[in-house]
Amino acid sequence: MVKATVMSDATTANPGEHKSKETSITEGQTEVSLRLWARDDFRTGIWEVTPGTFKSTRPGYDEICQILSGTATITEPDGTSFDIGPGSLFVTPAGWEGSWTIHETLRKMWVVKDLPATTE
């Protein structure tokens, strides 16, 4: 029998201990990620990050994000930016890059799908 995986409240669930954000430009910024479920090339969970700015890339995977709490501005290399907050839904496709400026601690639900491996 296949059973459902449930997180009763993703906005308040304890995701674990924050650790230093490796790609942060801001000293002291931390993050934590809790994987809820995974199978093969597909996984989902929640992620939280404290205020500051960091660089981000999507090498080899597409990501769908739903913001649960907090606010941020995401800026792409050409200067295009968009603000996100509770309820925002967006996709960062494989190959995407940009920077995130977190204004208040942000929590998102994420879904990641790896691209098929290519052989050269």
Q: What is the pTM of this model?
A: 0.93
Specify the number of domains making up the chain: 1
Q: Do the domain assignments include residue 90?
A: yes
Q: How long is the chain?
A: 120
The distance in angstroms from the start CA to the end CA of the chain is: 40
- Identify whether 33 is part of a domain: no
Rg of the chain in Å (alpha carbons): 15
Identify the band that residue 120 occupies on the pLDDT scale cut at 50, 70 and 90.
low
Residue 119 has pLDDT above 70, yes or no: no
Residue 85 has pLDDT above 70, yes or no: yes
In tens, the pLDDT along 39-62 reads: 999 999 999 999 999 999 999 999
Rounded percentage of the chain residues whose pLDDT exceeds 90: 96
Q: What is the mean pLDDT of residues 97-120?
A: 92
Torsion of CA 13, 85, 102, 110, to 10 degrees: 50
Average pLDDT over residues 13-27: 97
**CATH code of the domain covering residue 111:** 2.60.120.10
Q: Is 8 contained in some domain?
A: no
Task: Provide the mean pLDDT of the chain.
Answer: 96
- Give residue 47's pLDDT: 98
Closest Cα partner for 55 from 89, 100, 7, 18? 100
Residue 79 belongs to a domain: yes
Asked if the structure places residue 86 within a domain, the reply is: yes
Residue 21 lies in a domain: no
Residue 55 inside a domain? The answer is: yes
C-alpha to C-alpha distance for 100 and 102, rounded to whole angstroms:
6
Domain that holds residue 118: 44-120
CB burial class (10 A; 0-12, 13-18, 19+) of residue 92? buried
Asked if residue 50 belongs to a domain, the reply is yes
